[in-house]
Amino acid sequence: MAFLGGANKETTDDAQVEAHVAFVAPHVAGQVKRVLVKDNQHVKAGDVLVELDSRDLNVRLASARADVAAAKASLRSSETQLGVTQKSVASNLVVARGGMAQAASAAGSANAGIEQARAEITAALSRQKLAQLDFDRTSQLFNSSVVAKSSLDATSAALEQATANVSQAQARLRSAEANRQTSSGSIESARGRVIAAEAGPEQIEAAEAAVQLASAKLSQAEAALQQAELNVSYTQIKAEISGVVSRRSVEVGQMASPEKPLLALVPLDDTWVVANFKEDQIAHMRPGQLAEIEVDAFDGQKLKGHIDSLAGGTGSRFSLLPPDNASGNFTKVVQRVPVLLRIDSVSDLELRPGLSAKVTVVTK
């Protein structure tokens, strides 16, 4: 390649092809029913890779649907009860107030009857006293042989009638007083009904709270149904990306769980090269500089590329046990810095992660 001529270039054979590795694991635990892919098979996004036994989850799904139906029925019942309460509260208050007015009217009538009975007693006592005087006077005259026996009998009958009238008037008074007591009880009862009817707003509020509770339970049941439906759909484990099946460890009959990957997918259409340059080679390297890439697997075929980015530290700094040069004898070791390169040329070559490569970068 002509653009690589001259001394302004850096080369390393410590480079390899890299790619994303997508590990596939189930969302739910279950027994593997079918494995639909084999090692190194090309799959597309959305393809079903593995199927889990869904019988237990289908039972839970049916139960969740029944819970939703029950919650909907409960909500309808609560809404109906709210409507009945709203309509009955107003009518109950009108009826209770009418009963209160009727009881008060009956009490007024009873009081008037008592007053009338007392007046009748007073009049009867007066007539009785007058009849007694007539009887006494007639008795004296009869004893003096002034009047006949019939006159004495007449005054005696009048006295008896007056006495009977007094007894009747007293009886009517007792009856009127009893009616007043009954009216007083009716007033208290009517007052209680009015108080109960005036509590209508609280009854409506309680019915509205019952509707809200039923609505919340319905939302909860619907959420549980959605989760049950998702769990059933998760029994079909699908490919999230297109790629090649790798590291397949799943077999029919085994128990799968979310924490254990079943296989990996490697998208070969999205690869790059990581070249580890010595620390004294990167002084003039910048993103965007052109590069030439030779992959060992393809007999030195050269690909065009460019620097995408340089790592934030050396490779040894991010190793499992970073070197500590603060103690003991120190031996200087040339460090290497990972440089990420993107491939620009269009090629039908399938670059697999891990392939060795040689990279030359034009630094000018």
* pLDDT, position 50: 97
Cα 178 to Cα 88: distance, rounded to the nearest angstrom: 35
- Residue 324: partners with Cβ closer than 8 Å, 6 or more residues away: none
* pLDDT, position 4: 47
Cα 167 to Cα 194: distance, rounded to the nearest angstrom: 40
By the 10 Å C-beta count (0-12 exposed, 13-18 middle, 19+ buried), 281 is classed as: buried
CB of 46 within 8 A of CB of 243? no
Question: What DSSP element (H or E) covers 150?
Answer: helix 149-198
* Helix (H/G/I), strand (E/B), else coil: 277: strand
With a cut of 80, say whether residue 146 has pLDDT above it. no
Q: Mean of the pLDDT values across residues 221-249?
A: 96
* pLDDT, position 301: 84
Q: What is the full DSSP assignment across 172-241?
A: HHHHHHHHHHHHHHHHHHHHHHHHHHHTHHHHHHHHHHHHHHHHHHHHHHHHHHHHHHHHHHTTEEE-SS
Comparing 202 with 71, the larger pLDDT belongs to 71
Of 334, 255, 270, the closest CA to residue 308 belongs to 270
* pLDDT, position 1: 42
With a cut of 80, say whether residue 296 has pLDDT above it. yes
With a cut of 70, say whether residue 298 has pLDDT above it. yes
Confidence of residue 199 (pLDDT cuts 50, 70, 90): low
Radius of gyration of the chain (CA): 55
Strongest mean pLDDT among 23-37, 106-120, 125-139, 179-193: 23-37
Comparing 174 with 18, the larger pLDDT belongs to 18
* pLDDT, position 168: 86
Count the alpha carbons within 13 Å of 302 in the hemisphere toward its beta carbon: 10
What pLDDT, in 10s, does the model give residues 96-122?
666 666 766 666 677 777 788 788 888
Edge-to-edge strands, sheet with 263-266: 22-24, 263-266, 243-246, 42-43
* pLDDT, position 174: 81
Comparing 183 with 63, the larger pLDDT belongs to 63
With a cut of 50, say whether residue 124 has pLDDT above it. yes
Comparing 251 with 92, the larger pLDDT belongs to 251
Strongest mean pLDDT among 52-66, 129-143, 157-171: 52-66
